[in-house]
Chain A
């Protein structure tokens, strides 16, 4: 289905209206990514528990994926394909279509500061969902970077012999585990804000599902 066709599909027409904010490829890769991250983080927590990095942090089995370490590892090394293939498609299309450049650049520090203050005061406008404010731009770029780091550090602890040069980039096997952990922590922190805001501004969720933000009139 082409993007044009999707815009006029019965679903899009029936449940949402207004200008197209997210083309189909963005929505598809977004939700595949959501599923892949859910599986990677859930199983990753279970793997973490087998040899915790911090004595004060332990993830309850109830919120982790995989019954025990072996199951969690099978989930992790299966979902990684979904995460990486989908991520490569998303980043390639983001660059090739110019969407990243249009939506995320430029980021000016002064804009970030003023938008951040406005956000804290609850005065940051979400009237036009097609335009990202500077804080959003920074967070979206930041989570993209965290995604790249988590995949590369993960690769470096999965294959510290075959890709030993990559493991060395992260400061060796033990440090690479910490990098992998903190990349996860940054992504979870992002998701907390991201999901909370999507629920506070429901039309943004509608836009990510149907491509358009306005409800049926």
Chain B
């Protein structure tokens, strides 16, 4: 990854993203492969010699030290002069609005303040590399979105290299310049948030990124026409640009359409028809859950939609926004 980049490791729990981060930090050793920082192999180095800072999910503050001592601990260990330590503590405390908390102990702080101390402890060191292990997951929703913005601003300001682990795709999308999607210990895709969102390379990524989840429809292509397996509803595949690449012989495919790319429409335009099963009203939008011949589809309708449970609904979308997968892989 590039210098100064904000890289997010995204994946479901247990996919190995935290382990990867810990390997970079030197808290865990890799069975194969090597870690390089600034083109220097750091595998044999203990964590303290790697010049990385780590922000833990549960903060891991030193409970017997005050905020100021927590912030200055790493500098003290390095034998920095007292004056410099104090200056840096004050500087970081001001940046994170902790000026008034410096003499408190961690247990006297709120969750958000503790989080900021953990962050400050990393910043004060000016390390080569910041490592974040789901630092926002213990905060409540409002605080989390505020901190997300703070973090983005911080990165803007410091321009330091950061690796950020999360299972929250909203964090990945808003923070990441580069997103690495992991599953079962393997890298599934690397790209910008937009690349990953709009061009998921396989079914796992397509299903994992995006909320609500992408609609998947099993189908079969024969003679240039897509037959949706369960509904028996035939419809023309000609609008799928990938048609010609799918060739002539019949093959099984999966098409994916994001809920926001599927909308209620008139009978004549319809790709699918079905019965509304549930309407999720978010205010600005409504997500309509539709059962179409046994397949469950989610479509986005404008807020205050007149659609009610049990109504017959016709759905269509933008052909450009349909994802086609053959087996597990995306077909371009």
A and B physically associate = no
| Residue positions of A touching B, CB distance < 8 A | none
